[in-house]
Amino acid sequence: MNPKVVAIVGAGPAGLFAAKTLAEKDVRVALFNRDIRPGGLAEYGIYPEKHVLKNGLRRQFTSFLEHKNIAYFGNIEVGEGKDLSLPQLENMGFQGILVTAGAQKIKELKVEGESLPRVYHAWEIVSKYNNLPPYSQIEFPIGEKVVIVGVGNVMADVARYLIQKGGVKEITAVARRGPAEIKFHETEFAHIAQNLDLSDFEAEMERVTPLMLKLGQDPNETWAFIEKACENCEEKTGDTNFRLRFLKSPVRFWGDEHRGLQGVECIENSLVEENHVMKTIPTALHTIFDADTAILAVGSSVDDGIGLPVSKDQFTISPYPDYPQDGISYELMDPDSGANISGVFVAGWSRLASYGLVGISGKDGSRGAQALFEFIQDGDGEKPDWELLQSQIRNLKKEIVDKKMIGQLYKAEAEIAAKNGLAEYKFPTNQEMLTAIGLV
């Protein structure tokens, strides 16, 4: 009897954990990945200097891929008009599909001036410093006065990069809400805490303290958090002045095509608590920050080009799943008919955009895989021939990277790193990667 056969789209942490879960249940898994190398944001998002974490994850993912039930197809993008579409996968005979393609599309603020020169999305900067093709080949000029919109861990990573890179005099991170709602972790902030302008921070805390007290929040907790990060901070690497501004939302990026960005206009917010959620209320006050560069670190969106319904930066998750896992839905709803889309599941950042670290995404991938597994157990359709399916895919007119080649790629990169005394080396273009593994 042929075993069941499924497709997973995206080999980030969610897709890799999902593939492992299904392979161990004797399901054959075709794992498609747009990038040549597996790992998703574990390779191309996590800060480059976190070598221990990145190497550990790389080793773990390599061991997952070794499972005989997993076939890896790197350098294959799935979507409408791409290398393969979801309907094509269904027609090939896959009995179910799990989409774990992350949330890899730029999320726009939809604010005037957002397309001016030197207004970037954090995604572009992070991809650049992590050597993700094609961003690795694009120049993103950075000026001296940078405004970062958002106060999560990605903001902390981008600020860390700008401080280390040098040449930036001032970074102002702008938060929609107040000090009690900051999203970055102390460990991430510790990398930039040495550059925090403490007297400026004190003045900003003084300004927002009356509202915090009115909301029942304790400003001392913010101080304790910042002091702890400062205690554990690194040695100062540059003289960039880092500032935090609270209760502000950008409403306009000032400048012109010729001179690029000149300033960021923000509206002042107040806050009110509704159903345990802190909601912003815009006031009539405006502030303009003098800035020549703005970086939007406000999360990202799922890709509507994959061919699944999207609403407000997320796939339309069904509120009535047929195969819920721990009360969570991994299924999609057709917004026109209101019916569940049969046979297609989502997990990881594709289920909840920009939510959670690798551990959370991996666990979500495993749960999504379990939902898909329950679905295929219910089906009694024809099971395709696994070998035939694989050769059909290999016949695509594209350089397809398999798991053996990934081993060769890592080896080639490790040799270059050793030769040049580097902690890590990553080829910055697809062409170089394909050449190193002998595909071109």
Ligand X SMILES: Cc1cc2nc3c(=O)[nH]c(=O)nc-3n(C[C@H](O)[C@H](O)[C@H](O)COP(=O)(O)OP(=O)(O)OC[C@H]3O[C@@H](n4cnc5c(N)ncnc54)[C@H](O)[C@@H]3O)c2cc1C
Footprint of ligand X (CB under 6 A) = 9-15, 32-35, 40-42, 45-47, 50, 77-79, 100-102, 104, 126, 154, 157, 303, 306, 348-349, 356-358, 361
42 vs 147 by CB, closer to ligand X: 42
For the CA atoms of 334, 339, 341, 342, what is the dihedral angle to 10 degrees?
A: -170
266 vs 393 by CB, closer to ligand X: 393
Backbone angles phi, psi at 390, to 5 degrees: -65, -40
**Shortest reach from residue 21's CB to ligand X, in Å:** 13
Residue nearest ligand X, Cβ-based = 12
187 vs 377 by CB, closer to ligand X: 187
**Shortest reach from residue 74's CB to ligand X, in Å:** 9
Q: What is the DSSP string of 252-314?
A: EEEEETTTEEEEEEEEEEEEEEETTEEEEEEEEEEEEEE-SEEEE-S-EE--GGGSS-EETTE
292 vs 303 by CB, closer to ligand X: 303
Q: How far apart are CA 368 and CA 16, in angstroms?
A: 12
Q: Is 176 exposed, middle or buried (0-12, 13-18, 19+ CB in 10 A)?
A: buried
**Shortest reach from residue 101's CB to ligand X, in Å:** 4
Report the largest interatomic distance among the alpha carbons of the chain, rounded to a whole angstrom: 72
Q: What's the one-letter identity of residue 31?
A: L
**Shortest reach from residue 109's CB to ligand X, in Å:** 17
267 vs 389 by CB, closer to ligand X: 389
- Structure token pair of residue 341: 């889309």
**Shortest reach from residue 19's CB to ligand X, in Å:** 11
Chain-centroid distance, C-alpha 190: 21
**Shortest reach from residue 361's CB to ligand X, in Å:** 4
**Shortest reach from residue 366's CB to ligand X, in Å:** 11
- Structure token pair of residue 369: 């895989």
Inter-residue contact 425 to 419 (CB < 8 Å): no
307 vs 384 by CB, closer to ligand X: 307
User: Exposure pattern of 248-269 as b/e (b: 16+ CB <10 Å)?
Assistant: bbbebbbbeeeebbbbbbbbbb
- Which residue in this structure is represented by tokens 């560069």? 293
Residues 6+ apart with CB under 8 A from 380: none
**Shortest reach from residue 142's CB to ligand X, in Å:** 17
Residues 6+ apart with CB under 8 A from 382: 93
Q: What's the one-letter identity of residue 152?
A: G
20 vs 34 by CB, closer to ligand X: 34
**Shortest reach from residue 352's CB to ligand X, in Å:** 9
Q: What's the one-letter identity of residue 61?
A: F
**What SS3 state is found at 388?**
helix
126 vs 271 by CB, closer to ligand X: 126
Inter-residue contact 146 to 293 (CB < 8 Å): yes
47 vs 242 by CB, closer to ligand X: 47
13 vs 263 by CB, closer to ligand X: 13
**Shortest reach from residue 236's CB to ligand X, in Å:** 22
| 119-121, strands of its sheet edge to edge | 119-121, 293-296, 145-149, 170-174, 241-245
18 vs 196 by CB, closer to ligand X: 18
Q: How many CB atoms lie within 10 A of CB 368?
A: 31
Q: How far apart are CA 67 and CA 369, in angstroms?
A: 16
**Shortest reach from residue 154's CB to ligand X, in Å:** 4
